[in-house]
Structure 1
């Protein structure tokens, strides 16, 4: 077993611990209202590890935790079998991108709590594992000659569409900027930073690379094609937990965010299966 495999299993253990505590740990606290630095009233969850997060954020966090338990278990399974075929190494990196995204949201989006150092450890492990595994994947000669002959224009266009799907956040960002408001108790929403600063350029570069039939574009393909289904399931999990906690999700938001990401995730699963057939 390689050293990187030990790091991968550590990522799995950390994720299961963090997500398990996030879902099941309770302090018996109750919700309360606070006023943020912008003078806005925000309802705080008041219970468990997310006791200082808003009710809306706590519901989203718990829904994400639930999905990440499944992702972590799949990641552990693929870690075991990834040496058998290159297609599993592609899937391995794709699943890791979801866990890295999760760790970024934890370290930057969850209010300071007792798990902070564990959040940082997960983030560090996921980041360096991604650097190592992606570098290994890029350097491998594992793409079939038929791949460049295959028309993957549809896949490339889909990935570019996924890149610009982050623009759905603009209706939330621009009015807040104009009004000089914050998002609940936060000065910055980390999801906006990650999506515009990392997801958009990576996905866009990947899509353009495939259109140009560049090897790097093909090598990056498993990241968007695996991450999008994960995001789709996360959105479902968040909506379920938020609804169970008494949060009324507007129809406009349900259609604009939830359903759109579910559709993108379903298409990504189909295209990913098609793409992996061309891996040696």
Structure 2
């Protein structure tokens, strides 16, 4: 495994692998403090690609002024051990000065999809995401790029960017990885106290109960399912709901509140963002209601 820290070294390492006929190049962009969710992305990339590139960069452009950029957890030694264990060939760890050597005046922005969910709660967040990912795509020129569905909105936004701008890369969405008790893995879970972590299980539980209610016909409309999500999450005293939404996926369009979900064509997303103390967690389920209804 080769660790590189500037763009010239990165391109040299990739050209070496490409010249050796190692097959497709896969990119796994991360902000570090790696966990099993990231490991699963590396393994998926390894199954499909001859060369796996992982980037580790805490991107200041996607953090708001009152968010946790400075305190975001970092552990380079641990990250490199996991990356090597999971088969990364090249790990790119740039500084902010390498990624943004002069104040950036060009940004990549995706409209519409970024006004819902986390885009509404974190203005400018997705402009930072799309800009840094576009830069990484230009640097690495990957055939495939791997992202977890825990941030399903991010997947939808990046697929739109790639389609709109004719980028020659395929976005591969990988399943959410959870702890044995259902909590979705996140680098920010380390912020949680023991009690906050216990109460955070309400996210996966509420999503599971909402899906079951759709399956069993107990909550058929988007309005009913949203109210169920809010009701279940509110049972946890420490939970402060940022949003609870049911939208089309990947279009992220609002559904008619009175229409039955099982009459909806295509996939939907049930998505949550909830704060426990200072820690904001997200979780979601993406599924096709008509397929769920057919199984009942």
TM-score of Structure 1 vs Structure 2, range by shorter chain: under 0.3
**TM-score by structure 1 length?**
0.27
As a proportion of its length, which structure holds more strand?
2
TM-score (structure 2 length as normaliser): 0.26
With a CA cutoff of 8 Å and minimum separation of 6, indicate the structure with the bigger relative contact order.
Answer: 1
